[in-house]
Structure 1
């Protein structure tokens, strides 16, 4: 309780002391869960996210991607696929100026989430057939400027299987983005190290001016995740016809 009464200044928190917190196994706690908890307690991004009010350390990934690629601008409309736990939508809402009166950000996830100020949340599986229409309806029928996807399939421990399942989600998200984005829009999606499938890369390069892979500093170095960033959507035939 003493920590609650006297908040520590930035840079003075437990994670910055150089002393590593050790977590022992206990009744009902497996060795793997103890390792996970120990990693969380010693992760400076977890501490910083809690201090700054972000829902997860993942918020810093989109902050860092945006600092590098300049994606989020005031007044833009954003779709967040796989929104849970909500850090990306929190950042997006703040950057674009989304409010309850004028919501510019919509997120979708099959998990239930607490409300996020300025964000319309749909509790639904993005792979459901009617999900795309519901997302656009939640934006008032307007096309988004940016589609974000931090979706990843639940891991099995088998690298090839996990890679293929997450790549499938990325491909579905890319198809959605190409079908709904405004000209000049952008798409960001999680992929796993091993490279994006050539067919998907070729598809994105046909539709976007630039396509790059980004590994934000807050993405753990041991993690196999990368982020695919496609900018400058060229538009579809129906958008360019006069």
Structure 2
């Protein structure tokens, strides 16, 4: 019996390659072309656009919170290096910062970055360097008290040298951890991005002294070819 005209076999040569391919352009580096091609074919990028998130990174904090449940209604949250704002968007909904979940406690989000960030409903966003003297007191004043969660998706500018970049982001993460020690409530949570590469042992030791539980996890939304992972430290000892 013959196949109906116009239908292709669903296996082998009959399959269509649905990958979007980006042509190289004058003045664009091959690395940029490959990055653009990856973005256009990334299901998390498409999903973020469909759901109104400012970036695919929103799904990383979603997946981490689904597993460890730190963004609860009523929680007070600090987002360090918040641009472009995807983590803030997720946190605002989950801690009920807008108060639109009847019967649930209303949380609060204070987000800071070195650059201005477009407003996000339910979030109090400020231009501030968290490393400057007195930054912790400013944040607690904006938050009306200590935080329940300090989270950071920050990354230092890439130098192109893998080991240098690893050391830079680990230094930034350690600084974020010390900031968290100054602003967290006892029992609080610290969540931050790190890069695998060998220099994270000191951070692990530091966090284990300050928190009852410290885990490292690579959420599904984190690209498999990336060396990034996230540390989730819960039960701040105060």
Is the pair's TM-score, using the shorter chain for normalization, greater than 0.5?
yes
Separation (CA, whole Å) in 2 of partners of 1:61 and 1:223: 13
Match of 1:201 in 2: 204
Separation (CA, whole Å) in 1 of partners of 2:233 and 2:216: 9
Distance apart, 1:18 and its partner CA: 5.9
Distance apart, 1:37 and its partner CA: 1.1
Distance apart, 1:198 and its partner CA: 2.7
The answer as to 2:168 corresponding to 1:165 is: yes
Q: Residues 147 and 183 of structure 2 are in contact (CA less than 8 Å); yes or no, is this contact kept in structure 1?
A: yes
5+ residue gaps, structure 2, are: 1-15, 100-105
Residues 103, 74 of structure 1: alpha-carbon distance in 2 compared, 3 angstrom cutoff: closer
> Which of 88, 98, 118 is matched with 1:114 structurally?
118
Q: Residues 79 and 112 of structure 2 are in contact (CA less than 8 Å); yes or no, is this contact kept in structure 1?
A: yes
Aligned-residue RMSD, C-alpha: 1.8
Q: Residues 97 and 123 of structure 2 are in contact (CA less than 8 Å); yes or no, is this contact kept in structure 1?
A: yes
Distance apart, 1:157 and its partner CA: 1.0
Q: Residues 80 and 108 of structure 1 are in contact (CA less than 8 Å); yes or no, is this contact kept in structure 2?
A: yes
Distance apart, 1:28 and its partner CA: 4.0
Between Structure 1 and Structure 2, the one with more strand by share is 2
Q: Residues 130 and 179 of structure 2 are in contact (CA less than 8 Å); yes or no, is this contact kept in structure 1?
A: no
* Residue aligned with 1:88, SS: helix
Match of 1:217 in 2: 220
Write out the 4+ residue segments of structure 1 that deviate beyond 3 Å after TM superposition: none
Please give the TM-score of this superposition, normalised by the length of structure 1: 0.85
Please give the TM-score of this superposition, normalised by the length of structure 2: 0.87
* Residue aligned with 2:185, SS: coil
5+ residue gaps, structure 1, are: 1-16, 236-242
Q: Residues 103 and 120 of structure 1 are in contact (CA less than 8 Å); yes or no, is this contact kept in structure 2?
A: no
Once the two structures are superposed, the pairs formed by residues 68-217 of structure 1 within 5 Å of their partners are 68-99=67-98, 104-140=108-144, 142-195=145-198, 197-217=200-220
Distance apart, 1:82 and its partner CA: 0.8
The answer as to 2:230 corresponding to 1:231 is: no
* Residue aligned with 1:145, SS: strand
- How many residue pairs get aligned? The number is 218
Match of 1:31 in 2: 30
Separation (CA, whole Å) in 1 of partners of 2:60 and 2:94: 14
Separation (CA, whole Å) in 1 of partners of 2:200 and 2:35: 31
Match of 1:3 in 2: none
